[in-house]
Structure 1
Amino acid sequence: MKSMTGYGRASAQNGGYDITVEIRAVNHRFYECSVKLPRAYSYLEEKIKDQLQSRIARGKVEVSLTMQNVGGKSLTVQVNHTAVSAYLTALLEENRRLAEELDGGISEHAFLKQDLSLSTLLRLPDAFQVQQVTEDAEVVWAAVEPLLQDAVEQFLSMRMVEGERLKADVASHLDALEQMTFCVEKLAPETVQLYYDKLYRKITELLADHTVDESRLVTEAAVVAEKIAVDEELVRLHSHIAQFRTLLESDVPVGRKMDFLVQEMNREVNTTGSKSQSLEITKLVVDMKSEIEKIREQIQNIE
Structure 2
Amino acid sequence: MLQSMTGFGSARLDADQYSISVEIRSLNSKSMDLSVRVPKFLSDKEYDIRNMVQKALVRGKVGVNVEFTRNKAQKAKSTINKELLQAYFRELNQVADVVGAEKGELFRLALHMPDVLQQEQEEEAEEADWDVVQPLLEEALQNLNSFRADEGKALATEIMSYIDRIRILLAEVDKQDPVRMEHIRNRIRGHITELSSAEHFDQNRFEQEMVYYMEKLDIAEEKVRLVNHLHYFTETVYLPEPTGKKLGFISQEIGREINTIGSKANDSTIQHHVVEMKEELEKIKEQINNIL
Calculate the TM-score normalised by the size of structure 2: 0.73
Q: Which residue of 2 aligns with 1:250?
A: 239
Aligned pairs, number: 241
Aligned counterpart, 2:168: 179
Instruction: Please list, as runs of the form range in 1=range in 2, the aligned pairs for 1:141-160 lying within 5 A after superposition.
Output: 141-160=130-149
Task: Among all aligned residue pairs of Structure 1 and Structure 2, give the percentage whose two residues are the same amino acid.
Answer: 36
> Any unmatched runs of 5+ in structure 2?
75-123
Q: Distance in 2 between matches of 1:291 and 1:195?
A: 29
3-state SS, counterpart of residue 239 of structure 2: coil
Q: Hey, what's the Cα distance between the residues in 1 that align with 2:126 and 2:71?
A: 15
Q: CA separation in 2, counterparts of 1:216 and 1:282?
A: 31
Q: CA deviation at 1:238?
A: 1.0
Secondary structure, counterpart of 2:19 in structure 1: strand
CA distance in 2 between counterparts of 1:31 and 1:296 reads: 20
Q: Match for 1:140: what amino acid?
A: D
Contact 1:192–1:225 (CA under 8 A) maintained in structure 2? no
Deviations 1:138-173 (A, max 9, x none): x61111122212211221111111100000001010
Unaligned stretches of 5+ in structure 1? 74-131
CA contact (8 A) 1:233 1:271 kept: yes
Instruction: Choose from 216, 228, 233 the match for 2:222.
Output: 233
Out of 161, 168, 173, the residue aligned to residue 157 of structure 2 is 168
C-alpha displacement of 1:282? 0.8
Q: 1:14 to 1:53 in 2, by over 3 A?
A: farther
- 1:134 offset after TM fit, Å? 9.5
- Contact 1:5/1:26, CA 8 A, preserved across alignment: yes
What CA distance in whole angstroms lies between the structure 2 residues aligned with 1:242 and 1:146?
41
Tell me what 1:58 maps to: 59
Q: Distance in 2 between matches of 1:30 and 1:257?
A: 14
* Distance of 1:207 and 1:230 partners within structure 2: 28
**Contact kept in structure 2, 1:2 and 1:164, CA below 8 Å:** yes
Closer, same or farther in 2 for the Cα pair 1:263/1:58, shift >3 Å? same
**1:7 corresponds to which residue?**
8
Matches of residues 1-303 of structure 1 in structure 2 within 5 Å? 1-14=2-15, 16-70=17-71, 140-201=129-190, 204=193, 221-303=210-292
Runs of 4+ residues over 3 Å off in structure 1: 69-73, 132-135, 201-208, 213-223
Contact 1:19 1:68 in 2 (8 A): yes
* Residues 20 and 67, structure 1, Cα contact 8 Å, conserved in 2: yes
